[in-house]
Structure 1
Amino acid sequence: MAENRASAYTEGVPCWVDVQLPDVEAGKRFYGGLFGWTFEDAGGVAVWARLDGAAVARLARKRDGRMPTVWTVYFATPDARGLARRILAAGGQIVNDPVPVRDLGTAALVADPQGAVFGLWQAASHPGFGVRHAPGTFAWAQLYTTDIHAANTFYGHLFAAALFGTGADPDFGRAPVSDVFYPGMPPQFVVHFRTGDVGAAVEAVRQLGGRVQAPPFETSYGKVAVVTDNQGASFALLQR
């Protein structure tokens, strides 16, 4: 399935990604070179990333140098405030309260009980991905956590319809932090972008100034390499 629009997403399915960068122009050069993305002004200090005209991501300049340089995955919800309350009740945290983003929708940043940060997106005029699962677009979000049992319980209760519903397509998995990262690394989501040849994509990352955190390895959902861009934001390349 090459195309799947976010307007059809149930609550708990990844519907959007963005990255906070020190230098958006450098980010445009890196991701344009790697995935063939083109860019369009998104107002202020951000740009939409597009592939063949379809929205695939957003690149934004960090408002504060103390903020992490990081990709964030957003999960669809029809009620961001209600979901935020459920996250608090389940032992999670609210990082940024739900707020309207112009006429696009309502966004929030939250964290699970182990501290992994993710976003919530209540769509209005911007439903999310214009295309996913195609090469150069979002394909999977993997949570690397310090407590698999606790993560399964938390997300299973929070997003039961997406994770366990008939015919669901959650694009979301869980694994121990130690599978990829050094001991002591905090729990985190890693956004995966699809590629036709993970080895060639890893070499392109190196040539564009990025680095490899985990060389290609096999998973239940495809061959994966975890890399960072030329400014230190981690993401993964997925060959299926």
Structure 2
Amino acid sequence: MQRDQHLGWNELLTRDLDTVSAFYSTVFGWDYDDMEMPYGSYRVIRGGDEGGLGGLMTMPPEVPEQVSSYWNVYFMVDDLEAMLGRVTDLGGQVVHGPDDMAGVGRIATVADPQGGTFLLLEPASQG
């Protein structure tokens, strides 16, 4: 059976949301919709078919100061547990999770055999 797996979301974590938002707006012409989060605004990049192209957010306070801004890449999967098994069978590792995110789904951070990290997201049932 073919599983539904695809690039689903990109997200920039930064310590200067206003500066970086202006930069990407100028470079790519992006406009944003703000959503309030516990530690600041989450800026959804307008466009796409599923509520946006990605997001920009303030780095959570628990992230050490020496960590610079970075992009997260999310891959949507229809069976998170099966994909976590595949990742580890192929020499990758589960870095964090899986965690349940209310209204979003189940999410885990994984690393490929060379240490490149990405996130897997099994969306919440639309039922």
1:18 deviates by: 0.8
- CA radius of gyration, larger in: 1
In structure 2, the CA distance between the partners of 1:81 and 1:14, relative to structure 1 (3 Å rule), is same
Task: Confirm or deny that 1:10 pairs with 2:4.
Answer: yes
Structure 1 segments unaligned to the other structure (5+ residues): 1-8, 127-240
For 1:54-73, what aligned pairs fall within 5 Å after superposition? 54-63=51-60, 64=63, 65-73=65-73
In structure 2, the CA distance between the partners of 1:116 and 1:100, relative to structure 1 (3 Å rule), is same
Task: Report the TM-score, using the length of structure 2 for normalisation.
Answer: 0.76
- 4+ residue runs of structure 1 moved beyond 4 angstroms? none
**Does structure 2 conserve the Cα–Cα contact (< 8 Å) formed by 1:110 and 1:119?**
yes
The match for 1:33 is: 26
> C-alpha separation between the residues in 2 aligned to 1:95 and 1:35?
32
In structure 2, the CA distance between the partners of 1:93 and 1:110, relative to structure 1 (3 Å rule), is same
Structure holding more strand per residue: 2
The match for 1:223 is: none
| Counterpart code for 1:17 | N
RMSD of aligned alpha carbons: 2.5
The match for 2:101 is: 101
Structure 2 segments unaligned to the other structure (5+ residues): none
SS of residue in 2 equivalent to 1:115? coil
Aligned pair count reads 117
Task: Report the TM-score, using the length of structure 1 for normalisation.
Answer: 0.43
The match for 2:46 is: 50
| Higher RCO by CA contacts (8 Å cutoff, separation 6 or greater) | 2
